[in-house]
Amino acid sequence: MIKEVIINIDSENDIIIARKKAREISEGLKLSSINRAKVLTAVSELSRNIYRNAGL
């Protein structure tokens, strides 16, 4: 079982870190390449929206 991962999105670099961690986790779960792409897209979009709109 994978433990909870928390990444604070305070800079654009954190978006990259979140995406890399999502890739590691999705590969560890042995998701298909299509499902990995969906996860990475969702993480990228969410983290970018957090960075742009959270008023940081």
pLDDT category, 54, cuts 50, 70, 90?
confident
**Termini Cα distance of the chain:** 32
Specify if 40 maps to a domain. Answer: yes
Please say whether the beta carbons of 20 and 5 come within 8 A.
Answer: no
Residue 23, number of CB atoms within 10 A of its CB: 14
**Total number of domains in the chain:** 1
CA proximity to 54, closest of 15, 22, 25: 15
Specify if 47 maps to a domain. Answer: yes
Domain of 24, in residue numbers: 12-53
Specify if 4 maps to a domain. Answer: no
**3-15: pLDDT as tens digits:** 899 999 999 999 9
Please say whether the beta carbons of 5 and 47 come within 8 A.
Answer: no
**17-35: pLDDT as tens digits:** 999 999 999 999 999 999 9
C-alpha–C-alpha distance, residues 20 and 44, integer Å: 10
